[in-house]
Chains A and B, each alone.
Chain A
Amino acid sequence: MSREEKMRDLMARLASMSPEPPPFPEETPMARHQEPRRARPALVFAGAAALVIALAVPLLIFTGNGEPEVIATTTTTSTIPTTSTTASVTTTTTDATATTAVVLPTWSRPVFLYQAPVSSFVGNPALVPVWIEVSPVDPDVEFTEALAAVDDDLPDGLENAIPSDVEILGLRFEDGVWIADMNEAFLAGAGGLLADMTMLNQLIYTLIYPLPDAEVLFTVDGQPVETFGSEGLMLTEPVGRDEFLDQAHVINLSEPIVETDDGWIVRGRANVFEATLALNVLDGSGVVTHEEFVTASCGTGCWGEFEVTLDPDLIVPGESSIQLFQHSAQDGSAVDVITVPVPAGGVWSVTLGN
């Protein structure tokens, strides 16, 4: 018996167990009770501060080399800080509540933005992570606030699909899943199916970074999201980095372009013809100063990883750009092009609060 036949057999046996239908429901059954609506996490935390409830909130703190360090700390703050790159973490105590809060002097981490395709008829938005540093110091900063703030100060060619009123109210990590409690504005999506999926890709990739196998469960008021965006996407289960990847570009970056001792690292995932893509380095005037071919681990219908190390002399931070594309199987022309600027110092600085 083939696998398909076994599936049919399994379902036939399951269907044969079906009981008699219940009578027409004229009265409200016992099962139809509503659970009390959960208070918003922010309010829960505010109340918790008064009650001095000790909560162990794991905070994912990014150290200088980008490696995550999970710090378990006792805190009752009105905010759940998300991520930060700081040399040190300061702990403060407030007299009124006798609670401790982790103050994050600078908010800094990789954030996934997107680059629109040259033509919406021939491609989808490409995911491009950039290392963003947000200042001034603000312990209440949530990273979606920071994402909203970068709208006015985005790197060239990059855009943000996350609406400015979308916020993460709470964030915790359980068994490989980030549980992100969103505000109600999240449910409206970004305006259109493709924008919705781009927004989700940005959030998923930003949240799980740097753990590629982690997943995200989006909740609103603590409940999994049953209807999201313009098409009513069901998000009741955790979603990983592959969930909406087919709605992204065929070439995406999975790491910000950074300089190491070996050179500049360009790392990403692609689903291109014969797993072959081309890489150009452009100078500040857009002139090609270097070109090479890159092979991904898979292609022509499957997603493969690729990584290139470029000689440090090839890049002038703040001026150079990296261009990735594939050659058309029909006429050899450059198609599916993305162009990512290399920021001075490797980090885009964004000023919050205007």
Chain B
Amino acid sequence: MITATGVMDNESVYRNYSEELTRYATGLVGPFDAPDVVTDACLKAFEGRSWPEVVDRRAYLYRTVLTVAHDHHRRTLSRRMREMKSASPDQIPDPTASIDLEVLDAVVLLSVQQRAAVFLTYWEDLSPDAVAARMGVSVGAVKRHLARARKRLGEILS
């Protein structure tokens, strides 16, 4: 819904971006915790004092998702992976979900920021400038994150 001032209300903003934000959060924290991260990030953004003045709300939400993902305990995904591997099939939270353990094993090797840079570069096909803007960091930082990610994923990629 567009308000009289031409600004989308929060629910409309959420409807527009929730799917891609969830996908982005999946790239950052894995599929198990992505919905929580998105919910938390959106609430944090909507309740923020600066939210009404934000011009590029999509970019702002992406940055908030990254921040919340980083706040997420770093080892959460590793722990989830261990639980998944040791659990019997009927104990897996959502047995219908297609969980690619090989991919998650690789993602665990990266920091949250490296995951963000890699995801935005190779899934969203954004340029380093656009990735930097989306992450709220410098272009140099994006290149460093990508270089480090490639290094950490060296064996998997070779």
In the complex the two chains form, what is the Cα distance from A224 to B70 in whole Å? 10
In the complex the two chains form, what is the Cα distance from A237 to B144 in whole Å? 12
Is A36 in the interface zone, CB < 8 Å from B?
Answer: no
In the complex the two chains form, what is the Cα distance from A237 to B31 in whole Å? 23
Is A345 in the interface zone, CB < 8 Å from B?
Answer: no
Partner among B22, B123, B144 whose Cβ is within 8 Å of the Cβ of A19: B22
Partner among B31, B36, B121 whose Cβ is within 8 Å of the Cβ of A31: B36
A-B pairs with beta carbons under 8 Å apart, 25 shown:
A6-B157, A7-B150, A7-B153, A8-B123, A11-B118, A11-B122, A12-B123, A13-B103, A14-B123, A15-B119, A17-B100, A18-B22, A18-B23, A20-B22, A21-B18, A21-B38, A22-B18, A22-B35, A22-B38, A24-B14, A24-B15, A29-B43, A31-B36, A32-B40, A236-B70
In the complex the two chains form, what is the Cα distance from A12 to B135 in whole Å? 20
Inter-chain contact A29/B138, CB cutoff 8 Å: no
Inter-chain contact A29/B40, CB cutoff 8 Å: yes
Inter-chain contact A14/B42, CB cutoff 8 Å: no
In the complex the two chains form, what is the Cα distance from A10 to B157 in whole Å? 9
Which B residues touch A31, using CB under 8 A?
36, 39-40
Inter-chain contact B39/A15, CB cutoff 8 Å: no
Is B52 in the interface zone, CB < 8 Å from A?
Answer: no
Apart from A3-B158, A19-B31, A22-B39, list 14 A-B contacts with CB within 8 A.
A3-B157, A10-B103, A11-B118, A13-B100, A14-B100, A14-B103, A18-B26, A19-B35, A22-B38, A24-B10, A25-B39, A25-B43, A29-B39, A31-B39
Which B residues touch A246, using CB under 8 A?
140
Inter-chain contact B122/A7, CB cutoff 8 Å: yes
Inter-chain contact A8/B122, CB cutoff 8 Å: yes
> Which of A12, A13, A31, A236 has the most chain B CB atoms inside 10 A of its CB?
A31
Inter-chain contact A18/B31, CB cutoff 8 Å: yes
Inter-chain contact B22/A17, CB cutoff 8 Å: no
Inter-chain contact A22/B150, CB cutoff 8 Å: no
Inter-chain contact A19/B97, CB cutoff 8 Å: yes
Which B residues touch A15, using CB under 8 A?
23, 26-27, 119, 123
In the complex the two chains form, what is the Cα distance from A342 to B92 in whole Å? 67
Inter-chain contact A32/B43, CB cutoff 8 Å: yes
Inter-chain contact B138/A233, CB cutoff 8 Å: yes
Inter-chain contact B118/A7, CB cutoff 8 Å: yes
Is B128 in the interface zone, CB < 8 Å from A?
Answer: no
Encode B111-149 as 1/0 by CB contact (under 8 A) with A: 101000011011100000000000111101100100000
Which A residues touch B107, using CB under 8 A?
14
Q: From residue B144, how far is it (CB to closest CB) to chain A in Å?
A: 7
Query: What number of B residues sit within 8 Å (CB to CB) of A?
Result: 53
Chain A residues with CB under 8 Å of chain B are 3-4, 6-8, 10-22, 24-25, 28-29, 31-32, 224, 226, 231-234, 236-237, 243, 246
Which B residues touch A24, using CB under 8 A?
10-11, 14-15, 18
Q: From residue A37, how far is it (CB to closest CB) to chain B in Å?
A: 14
Is B98 in the interface zone, CB < 8 Å from A?
Answer: yes
Known A-B contacts A17-B99, A18-B31, A19-B35; the reply to A25 vs B150 at CB < 8 A is no
Q: From residue A20, how far is it (CB to closest CB) to chain B in Å?
A: 7
In the complex the two chains form, what is the Cα distance from A18 to B34 in whole Å? 8
Inter-chain contact A17/B31, CB cutoff 8 Å: yes
Known A-B contacts A24-B11, A28-B43; the reply to A226 vs B98 at CB < 8 A is no
Is B83 in the interface zone, CB < 8 Å from A?
Answer: no
Closest residue on chain B to residue A247 by CB atoms = B140
Q: From residue B139, how far is it (CB to closest CB) to chain A in Å?
A: 11
In the complex the two chains form, what is the Cα distance from A285 to B151 in whole Å? 51
In the complex the two chains form, what is the Cα distance from A24 to B39 in whole Å? 8
Encode B18-34 as 1/0 by CB contact (under 8 A) with A: 11011100110011001
Which B residues touch A10, using CB under 8 A?
103, 106, 122, 153, 156
The 9 closest A-B pairs by CB, nearest first: A21-B18, A22-B35, A11-B123, A18-B26, A18-B23, A11-B122, A17-B31, A21-B22, A25-B39
> Which of A6, A21, A32 has the most chain B CB atoms inside 10 A of its CB?
A21
Inter-chain contact B42/A25, CB cutoff 8 Å: yes
Closest residue on chain B to residue A6 by CB atoms = B157
In the complex the two chains form, what is the Cα distance from A32 to B15 in whole Å? 21
Which A residues touch B136, using CB under 8 A?
232, 234
